[in-house]
Structure 1
């Protein structure tokens, strides 16, 4: 049976408080599994406005209505309002996910700080950021995290080395390259082991192989504008041919205003014969396989601004 690995990035305080419980409820109703990756430090979402000069930024925020999905208050955190400490204020929401039977892992300490800085930072900065998240995760869950998924698919070589030091066996920090319509540029793209400057990392990478909702919403594809009314059918067309996929969701989108689209997807994937599973379940399925080795590379993807770790 082909599988859809559901990976949920939880970026903000609001997403943790409101989006996460909604997602747990929806997934339970549809007997779908998933992995929740939490931001564990302060919510400095307002700092993201500094990306205003990044190519493609205006296009993305205008298409996806950032204000509508994230809310004015969230966009003021760290600017006009104090940044709430997610890992202190949302302990119960996070623990409830674990109690509900879902896998939990680390997304980041501070989402905006990591996404905007990690590529150009060195060993000391990287270890500190990852260490803060690791220790906070231990405080909340009482056990070491098994997995990680980088904010904005942004990493550096030291971050990958740190995953191995933490003995994380699988992570999702990269993107498979996509065509303009969201289909895979390389149909064979899948889990792999990463190599950089001759060093092979042990932690298996599970690249996201489908476009996210915010990447294709409002985009014209094959002469048709992708809207909230047809985005699910478009994504389902990308999974019509059975194969394993990794789909990244966001608690701020699928967990809130775009929840009806998630329901459409879950129903559609069930009809297509897919099983929705967690990253841990996927790892159990592939752990004995001999996986390809790929060098660390960066690339831009349609619908998203800036480069990210990419599987070419």
Structure 2
């Protein structure tokens, strides 16, 4: 069975309150699964630069949070909607505490700051769900070395912090991190819409084409604020298209069930530009110790 794992990032208060329920209903109707990664602290979307960012699709109120309007606490106002996802049978994980602050600072942050951000998210997650998170997906595919170390030290079963081609064990600056990475393998919808010449329908067709062009399982990242709201119809088109091509839509944890973690390949991770986004992101690199 060919599989598309759906990585659902929940970035904003509005996405939590409206996008999450909409996606739950849509996925259940299509007998699809997925993993919701929740932002658990303040929504500072107003402080995020809008150029080549999903922020440009947000409503006006969201674009003012943390700027001209107080930043709502997503873990407080959206806890019931987060639990709704778990109660409906979906996997849930940590996206971050303060998503905008993380993306802006993590590249140069020290270990103490990085650990404090992750710990705040872990404590809030445990308070909401009554258990520790088993999965982590860094906002914007942005991390530093210590953040990767924490995925191992804190006992995450896996992380989805980077872009790449297939599951692997990451090596950063020569240091092995024994927590599998399940990278995003397909372009995101908003990345394909950065040029005015690309329509939503064309972006959907491009994603479907990429899914079938490259063999193996895939991870597709979507956002509660986009595919759960503004581009809900386009996302439904993807679900229908994948199903017609023989793909099952699953949670990320399902990709590990057919993997022997002990024999996963070890790859370096590097920071590189991703088409359709500003700034460097974590990307799967070459096989570790490959001399060719």
- Normalised-by-shorter TM-score class: over 0.9
Structure 1 length-normalised TM: 0.88
Contact 2:194 2:276 in 1 (8 A): no
Indicate whether 1:48 and 2:21 are aligned. Answer: no
SS at match of 1:143: coil
Q: Could you tell me which of 116, 138, 152 is aligned with 2:104?
A: 116
Q: Could you tell me which of 94, 119, 122 is aligned with 1:106?
A: 94
Indicate whether 1:311 and 2:284 are aligned. Answer: yes
Provide the rounded CA distance (Å) in 2 between the counterparts of 1:271 and 1:294: 33
Per-residue CA deviation, residues 12-69 of structure 1 (Å, 9 max, x unaligned), is 00000010000000000000010000000000011113xxxxxxx63x25xx7x45x3
Question: Residue 285 of structure 1: CA displacement?
Answer: 1.8
Q: Could you tell me which of 135, 144, 154 is aligned with 1:147?
A: 135
SS at match of 1:296: strand
SS at match of 2:81: helix
Structure 2 partner of 1:26: 26
Question: Residue 289 of structure 1: CA displacement?
Answer: 6.0
SS at match of 2:207: helix
Question: Residue 288 of structure 1: CA displacement?
Answer: 4.3
Provide the rounded CA distance (Å) in 2 between the counterparts of 1:285 and 1:122: 36
SS at match of 1:125: helix
Structure 2 partner of 1:38: 38
Query: What root-mean-square deviation, in Å, do the aligned CA atoms of Structure 1 and Structure 2 show?
Result: 1.4
What pairs with 1:206-285 in structure 2 (closer than 5 Å)?
A: 206-219=182-195, 225-241=197-213, 242-285=215-258
Per-residue CA deviation, residues 204-227 of structure 1 (Å, 9 max, x unaligned), is 00111100011001438xxxx321
Indicate whether 1:162 and 2:150 are aligned. Answer: yes
What pairs with 1:67-146 in structure 2 (closer than 5 Å)?
A: 67=56, 69-146=57-134
Aligned length: 284
Q: Which ranges in structure 1 are unaligned for 5 or more consecutive residues? A: 50-56, 177-188
Structure 2 length-normalised TM: 0.94
Contact 2:184 2:221 in 1 (8 A): yes
